[in-house]
Amino acid sequence: MAGGKSLFHRFALKQKLALVRKTKAVKTLQDELDRAVNVRDQLAEMADGMSVPAGETTIRHLRSASWYGNQVHDQLKTISNRTEFLSEEVASHRRDAARTRHQHTRAVERSEADDRARQIEREERFEASMPPRRRK
């Protein structure tokens, strides 16, 4: 090869770059999932804490509590769907990253085997080009 690097070595480098990108994507998705789970937990606490106080209340207070309760439940439903989606995405990206890691490992092994074979070939050519030694 012109650059002196084998095809396997270049492929291993390409797989390493892909692995770094995929690991970064998994980390970003995991951070977003963690944030969504925290918001979901806060909304669940808010929804559990919302109740109409015992005693006399006005219609305006009941309507207001109902409207806020509906808003919290809508947001809770939305964030729950988002966490479910993000969980699936994280799992999918982790599988993809594991597959890429395996490909990178195989490419590195092939590159090392190819380098060893080239080195042996060079040594054999060098030995063949040397004149035979005389023995005393």
* Each residue's pLDDT tens digit, 17-68: 999 999 999 999 999 999 999 999 999 998 888 776 677 778 888 888 889 8
- Does residue 5 lie within any of the structural domains? no
- Does residue 103 lie within any of the structural domains? yes
Rg (CA), the chain: 31
Q: What separation, in Å, do the N-terminal and C-terminal C-alpha atoms of the chain show?
A: 43
pTM exceeds cut of 0.85:
no
- Does residue 36 lie within any of the structural domains? yes
What's the residue count for the chain? 136
Neighbouring C-alpha atoms within 13 Å toward the C-beta of 113: 7
Residue numbers of the domain that contains 110: 16-50+59-123
- Does residue 23 lie within any of the structural domains? yes
Q: What angle separates helix 7-49 from helix 59-129, to the nearest 10 degrees? A: 170
Q: Are 83 and 36 in contact (CB under 8 A)?
A: yes
- Does residue 132 lie within any of the structural domains? no
pLDDT > 90 in the chain, percent: 47
Number of domains, the chain? 1
- Does residue 6 lie within any of the structural domains? no
